């Protein structure tokens, strides 16, 4: 055997070993994805063991045995919608972060650092503070003595039931408008079409994030104490209000976004190699980059409207997956790992303190800030 044949044999053996490792990781991730919802459903204020949850699923699947109605209600009406929303939120935020890092060629890109989350939070907080069940518009109507104000109040348009029925539409719309404004500001400040656009994007995103954060604080300052307390906890991220009806919009948006990103994966990966290389391959860089930014703003806005602001997930998960799959961009793996991560972060938020629940955003910010410093040190 010649030296060239020996080298080729070694390379082939390494490729086969790497392929086996990737398949093993995918298999383990799939198993963890299936086990995670059942295991996470056994954590909470009510004492329900893992064996009880497994028995509940087995009895319902096979139609045998009797199930405790209270246990069934806690698992399927309270915990499972929350687990699914956490999984969808983690998958969507991780996917948005991965796409942002690819199209901007910046490993520190994240929906929060790009100002998308701040813009979405500002739009959603405006809707909550002005048109919520305890918002400023309702207070103004209550203090007004006009016939129109009294007629609106008597109509029940701003009652709690009416508010929750149309908030599922108004909140995502408000959040999407805010995130779209953020994207337009970032593109305008970074100079759309300039050679230095990629380098200026992150700084523009940070500036935009601070601006929308200040505007959000201003709105909260003028809100009623009850509305401000509610919005403050919501803006820090929580899955406490998860319901089966509220899962429809975020689930559809995230699934459709995954399909769109898979359809344009070749163009997105071409941008990562450089704008000139992508142009030589026939990719319209400006159009694809703008489309992906709008798609990421839609994902972020929908999730912010559903569960509040949760930061650093889009930064941590793509880096972690790239460590497991060097030189690759596995979209589905990124989504699965992000979903699993968020489910267990929510379990930690529910169980870390005995009699109260921590906002999820506080935990992800604490972990993400350390991870951010680690990435900066590694890049230096």
Residue pLDDT, tens place only, 111-147:
887 788 888 888 888 887 776 655 444 444 445 544 4
Confidence (pLDDT) at 89? 95
Query: Going residue by residue through the chain (380 aa), what tens digit of pLDDT does each one get?
Result: 555 555 555 455 555 555 777 778 888 888 999 999 999 999 887 888 888 888 888 877 776 666 667 888 888 888 999 999 999 999 999 999 999 988 888 887 888 877 888 888 888 888 877 766 554 444 444 455 444 444 544 545 445 544 444 556 777 888 888 888 888 888 888 765 554 455 677 788 888 888 998 998 888 888 777 777 777 776 788 898 888 988 998 999 999 999 999 999 999 988 888 888 888 888 888 889 889 988 998 898 889 888 888 888 999 999 999 888 877 778 889 999 999 999 999 999 988 887 788 889 899 989 988 888 887 777 65
How far apart CA 353 and CA 114 sit, in angstroms, is 32
Q: For 255-292, give the DSSP string.
A: HHHHHHHHHTHHHHHHHHT-HHHHHHTT--HHHHHHHH
Show the tokens assigned to 194. 């300039």
This prediction has a pTM of 0.83
Q: What is the 3-state secondary structure (H, E, C) of 50-73?
A: HHHHHHHHHHHHHCCCCCCHHHHH
Confidence (pLDDT) at 148? 44
Confidence (pLDDT) at 56? 84
If one counts every other C-beta atom within 10 angstroms of the C-beta of residue 10, the result is 10
Is residue 353 within 8 A of residue 339, CB to CB? The reply is no
Confidence (pLDDT) at 16? 54
Give the chain's end-to-end CA distance (angstroms, integer). 43
3-class SS of residue 303:
helix
How far apart CA 113 and CA 199 sit, in angstroms, is 14
């Amino acid at each position: 055997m010649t030296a060239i044949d020996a080298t080729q044999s070694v390379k082939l053996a390494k490729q086969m070993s790497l392929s086996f490792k990737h398949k093993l990781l995918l298999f383990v991730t799939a198993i963890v994805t299936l086990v995670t919802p059942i295991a996470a459903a056994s954590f909470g204020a009510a004492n329900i063991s893992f064996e009880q949850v497994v028995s509940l699923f087995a009895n319902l699947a096979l139609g045998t045995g009797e199930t405790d109605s209270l246990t069934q209600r806690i698992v399927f009406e309270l915990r499972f919608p929350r687990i699914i929303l956490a999984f969808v939120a983690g998958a969507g935020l991780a996917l948005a972060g991965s796409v942002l890092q690819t199209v901007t060629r910046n490993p520190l890109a994240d929906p929060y650092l790009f100002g998308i989350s701040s813009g979405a939070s500002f739009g959603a907080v405006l809707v909550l503070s002005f048109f919520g069940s305890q918002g400023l518009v309702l207070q103004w109507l209550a203090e007004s003595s006009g016939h129109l104000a009294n007629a609106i109040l008597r109509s029940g348009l701003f009652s709690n039931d009416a508010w929750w029925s149309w908030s599922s539409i108004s909140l995502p719309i408000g959040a999407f408008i805010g995130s779209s404004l953020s994207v337009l500001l970032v593109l305008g400040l970074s100079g759309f079409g300039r050679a230095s656009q990629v380098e200026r994007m992150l700084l523009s995103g940070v500036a935009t994030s601070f601006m929308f954060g200040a505007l959000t604080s201003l709105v909260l300052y003028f809100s009623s104490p009850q509305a401000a307390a509610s919005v403050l906890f919501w803006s820090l991220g929580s899955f406490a209000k998860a319901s089966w009806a509220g899962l429809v919009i975020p689930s559809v948006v995230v699934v459709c976004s995954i399909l769109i990103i898979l359809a344009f994966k070749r163009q997105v990966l071409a941008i990562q190699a450089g704008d000139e290389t992508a142009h030589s391959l026939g990719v319209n860089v400006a159009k694809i980059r703008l489309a992906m930014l709008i798609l990421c703003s839609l994902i972020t806005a929908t999730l912010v409207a559903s569960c509040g602001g949760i930061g650093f997930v889009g930064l941590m998960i793509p880096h972690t997956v790239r460590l497991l799959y060097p030189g690759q961009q596995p979209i589905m793996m990124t989504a699965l790992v992000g979903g699993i991560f968020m489910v267990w972060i929510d379990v930690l938020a529910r169980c870390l303190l005995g009699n109260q629940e921590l906002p999820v955003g506080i935990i992800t910010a604490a972990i993400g800030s350390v991870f951010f410093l680690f990435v900066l040190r590694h890049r230096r």
